Amino acid sequence: MTPYLEEHSEQVGQAAERIRGHVRRTPVLNTDLDSDLYLKPECLQVTGSFKPRGAFNAVLSLTARIPRPSGVIAVSSGNHAQAVALAAATVGLPALILIPEDANPAKVAATRALGAEVIQEGITFANREQRLREVMAERGYTLVHPFDDWDVIHGQGTVVRELLDDEPDLQAVATPVGGGGLLAGSAISAKSHGRPVKVIGVEPVAADDAYRTWKTGSPTACAPRRSARVTSRSCSPIAWSTRSSP
């Protein structure tokens, strides 16, 4: 194991301890399709996705620092929004979430119900990052990015860490990739496992920005089509795993 991987693997372990008691250890389920196919159903997680793992690790880490942040801010179409809202409410921090106007109304309502302030007016998938920077400057809140944040990545890495604790002989893990936080955390946990584990990122053909980015070597975004976004974001994230029979 390289020093780089060892350092980040240790951070995933610390994240697991930090978020214990705030998230669920989801089960590993066998399938009827194939006895060697296993699922890690993060749709059973708090708020219905894996996102609270990263959000809690980030928010709890922030509150342990001096000075304590005055509030947290995030941009999300729904799942990260709910996770940050819950984590912030748990530690007594204000949370402000920018959510595009065309986001799922149920997820917007859930984010508000968890205590977060939500801004939607004028927010689109295309301009949300720019508006985020503007509002951050106005409020002075600390950003909890949905994927470009090591604390978030280390928190998401606890999914595959648990999976391999329960099923150590797995040979491959396939995991959804949107922004890449779950995939990066999964790779850390898989590659620091005691035996070789292949990691595969999976995304819809209609929203294949991660694949295009990998092939071109530079960030490549998909056109902001509503149909593609719904397809790629409305599924509950699940870590799929396979192993060969002995």
First to last CA, the chain: 26
Listed in order, strand segments (DSSP E) in the chain are 29-30, 37-41, 72-75, 95-98, 117-119, 142-143, 172-176, 198-202, 238-242
From the list 10, 12, 24, the residue with the least C-alpha distance to 181 is: 12
What per-residue confidence (pLDDT) applies to 223? 63
**Which class for 105: exposed (0-12), middle (13-18), buried (19 or more C-beta within 10 A)?**
exposed
Residue 80, token pair as written in the block: 């990260």
Angle at 226 between CA 159 and CA 42, to 5 degrees: 15
Tell me how far CA of residue 70 lies from CA of 80, 136, 183, in angstroms.
20, 11, 30
CA distance 182 to 135: 26
SS3 of residue 174 by DSSP = strand
What per-residue confidence (pLDDT) applies to 241? 56
Q: Are 57 and 66 in contact (CB under 8 A)?
A: no
Q: Are 191 and 164 in contact (CB under 8 A)?
A: no
* Segment 31-63, tens digit of pLDDT: 888 888 999 999 999 999 999 999 999 999 999
For residue 14, pLDDT beyond 70? yes
* Segment 139-160, tens digit of pLDDT: 999 999 999 999 999 999 999 9
For residue 236, pLDDT beyond 50? no
* Segment 16-26, tens digit of pLDDT: 999 999 999 99
pTM score: 0.89
Specify the residue for token string 């690790």: 57
> Mean pLDDT of all residues in the chain?
89
Residue 58 CB neighbour total at 10 angstroms: 29
What's the whole-number mean pLDDT along residues 220-240?
A: 48
SS3 of residue 191 by DSSP = helix
* Segment 108-118, tens digit of pLDDT: 999 999 999 99
Q: Are 157 and 58 in contact (CB under 8 A)?
A: no
